[in-house]
Amino acid sequence: MTMTWTEAAPGVWHARIGDPRMLTPLTLIEAEPKLDALKRLGKVDPPFERDSVHMEAAGGGRRMLVLPLAANEKLYGTGLQFMRTNQRGRTRYLRVNSDPKQDTGETHAPVPFFVSDRGYGVLIDTARALTMHLGSSVHLEGTGKEDAKDRNRDAGWRATVPSARAEIRLPEEGADVYIFGGPALGDAVCRYNLFCGGGTLPPKWGLGFWHRVPALFSAEETLAEAKEFRRRDYPCDVIGLEPGWHSSSYPVTYEWDPERFPDPERFVRELADNGFRVNLWEHPYVSPESGLYAALKPLSGNYSVWGGLAPDYSLPEARELYVKQHQEKHVAIGVSGYKLDECDGSELTNNAWMFPEHASFPSGLDGEQMRQLYGLMFQKMTNDMYRSANRRTFGLVRASNAAASSLPYVLYSDLYDHKQFIRALCNSSFGGLLWSPEVRRARSAEDWVRRMQTVCFSPLAMLNAWGDGTKPWTFPDAEPIIRRYIKLRMRLLPYLYTAFARYLEEGTPPFRAMPFAVTPEEFARAENMRLEAQTINTSEGAYGKRNVPQWDDQYMIGDSLLVAPLVEGEKEREVLLPSGSWIGFETGELYEGGGVVKVRSGIETIPVFVRDGAVIPMTSALPHALRPGEQAPLELVHFGTAEGECRLYDDDGITLEHECGVCGWWRAVVARTEDGGFKGELSGPAPLPASYGSVKWSFARMGLGYHDE
């Protein structure tokens, strides 16, 4: 079956299969492609003939979309995966599920988009759960005798037999298929993000430190805890409330509990006076005790969850009810946003809930579609609510899907493996997602420090103490280290904010996995080095275990910083450094890139590397991010021996005025002087961005210095 392709935007091709005219991630988000930015990326063809992508009829009346794969091609993405980065050779069941404990593809955000290291991406825009065979299915026709190997004798035997085809089972009704050109993997991801409306730009406070208090804390206890942050000199921007703020929860009312929160307005104001925003936990299932219940009932699905309604928010009437209540009770008194929990559903034996796939909703959507889209629906509805008040929000969500890059939400999970959390950070960058490796508790001070270090170098730096009541100062020996890293995050806010502004305007993810930063050849070289270093007894056939490194335990922030976390029990590790010279961000040690280096580090430091010549815009470690009208000193810190430059973005940090051009880009250039020193020049629409009252340069730094503040 041939497909008819049209160019939907520069370097983006679209083909429609069947009649998929129903709600999909792209239509729900009402994504407006950023055409100017896409044009700047130019036109480019994918590295295969478009006609080699075709449809095949298959068993059981299925329709398969077939794409050719090259011999060593790697495929990344399929959403928030925890178990692996390279999805080549895997079958992915892309279904929303809150317990991604097995490597099947099911996860909180199973995005039906993947990207290849040959430089193209593929999106199937559908509300259906989708199965992708990413080089995991081998046709008998085309299988030769030599393909059957003997595992007893042949060390070349592999469990996953290479297949040169990706086969995607399309939903019965059909789907929209998009192919994104490169030329590099990173370009294909940028095109995908730009096509979906660009990346999100959080309010400045969203990038500060977040703390969620125990589930049943009262207003008084919460205020006392918040003040403790100030007293102990720990920066903090957002206080998160958990289920106990609702008058009843599981199902929820969205109404303040009159005993724990007798005067919500005063509570929010008092926190604001101390520089804190309030984030409210909630979930979709509406309690019979909620004032919304009666009106929402006819607009809900025909199955209950925890005795509550599952409203159909694809209906404008349902959205109106939800938004009116939330506006009046929360937004109007200053609540900054939400943690949208439980919208993924679970099948765990001791903890199972969700409406079934065969549920039906008044709009005509069924339970499968609603579950795949529920997280997106809440993100869109709440974001629109804040946008209509000319305010930015930033929050958390536990389910997402395709086309989410422009939504101001960060994913999190009840899973808690530190390495998996780092891998999820890497994987989120391939598909327009953000992820928080939140810290909840720790087995030891070392575990605590290592997790805190990672989270401080992540999209959302949060301690989620809802169940454990842990505080940043819970492990007294580790206190100074934790404080230093939270402060270092605050100092890096100009750099982080600029990285997010590039996400908004250019589609470049602020946090990126290594395949964005090294070529497939460099990647393969490093992989072989590690494989060769593994001693496997090949005389016993192929029963030995080989660990194929994926370099998914390290990542880039922006163009200039590379983070290589250590987890509890590790004192040293290998790091894949892109070519060029690198400097230990805090230690000042010098490394030659273009391969693998070894680093050792005690718990007082997380290995972070900065490119030689990089200019990092920093500021002082304020107790909370700048509010409009406030100013801080700007520090432009140049590292190493090479000349270099950086960009710096600024706006008011909380409204949407930047979308009408009330924002600016500056360029900081460091060049050599005749006497061999360095000089710096900052240029832009004004001598200084409005957020900064002064600028201080420092040149040729070898490391930040351990106690430098």
Under the rule (CB under 6 A), what is the footprint of ligand GAL? 215, 242-243, 281, 341-342, 414, 464, 466
Shortest distance, position 232 Cβ to ligand GAL, whole Å: 24
**Phi and psi of 328, rounded to 5°?**
-70, -45
Report the alpha-carbon distance of residue 635 to residue 638 in Å, rounded.
10
Nearer to ligand GAL, 213 or 425 (CB): 213
Is residue 291 within 8 Å of residue 325, measured between CB atoms?
Answer: yes
Cβ density class 401-418: b for 16+ within 10 Å, e for less = bbbbbbbbbbbbbbeeeb
Shortest distance, position 215 Cβ to ligand GAL, whole Å: 6
Report the alpha-carbon distance of residue 492 to residue 495 in Å, rounded.
5
H/E stretch holding 639 reads strand 632-639
Nearer to ligand GAL, 73 or 438 (CB): 438
Nearer to ligand GAL, 425 or 513 (CB): 425
Shortest distance, position 245 Cβ to ligand GAL, whole Å: 11
Shortest distance, position 285 Cβ to ligand GAL, whole Å: 12
Total count of residues recorded for the chain: 709
Maximum distance among all Cα pairs of the chain, rounded to whole angstroms: 78
Nearer to ligand GAL, 215 or 702 (CB): 215
Region of residue 376 (phi > 0: left; psi between -120 and 50: alpha; otherwise: beta): alpha
Nearer to ligand GAL, 253 or 560 (CB): 253
Shortest distance, position 396 Cβ to ligand GAL, whole Å: 8
Report the alpha-carbon distance of residue 404 to residue 679 in Å, rounded.
42
Cα 286 from chain centroid (whole Å): 28
**Lookup: tokens for 163:** 């297949």
Nearer to ligand GAL, 284 or 494 (CB): 284
Shortest distance, position 290 Cβ to ligand GAL, whole Å: 17
H/E stretch holding 83 reads none
Shortest distance, position 253 Cβ to ligand GAL, whole Å: 15
What SS3 state is found at 476? helix
With CA atoms as reference, report the closest residue to 356 among 368, 343, 347: 368
Nearer to ligand GAL, 157 or 416 (CB): 416
Whether the upstream peptide bond of residue 623 has omega within 30° of 0, thus cis, is no
Nearer to ligand GAL, 69 or 455 (CB): 455
Q: Which residues contact 447 (CB under 8 A, 6 or more apart)?
A: 418, 567, 568
Nearer to ligand GAL, 85 or 464 (CB): 464
Is residue 577 within 8 Å of residue 585, measured between CB atoms?
Answer: no
Shortest distance, position 210 Cβ to ligand GAL, whole Å: 12
Shortest distance, position 281 Cβ to ligand GAL, whole Å: 5
Q: Which residues contact 534 (CB under 8 A, 6 or more apart)?
A: 546, 547
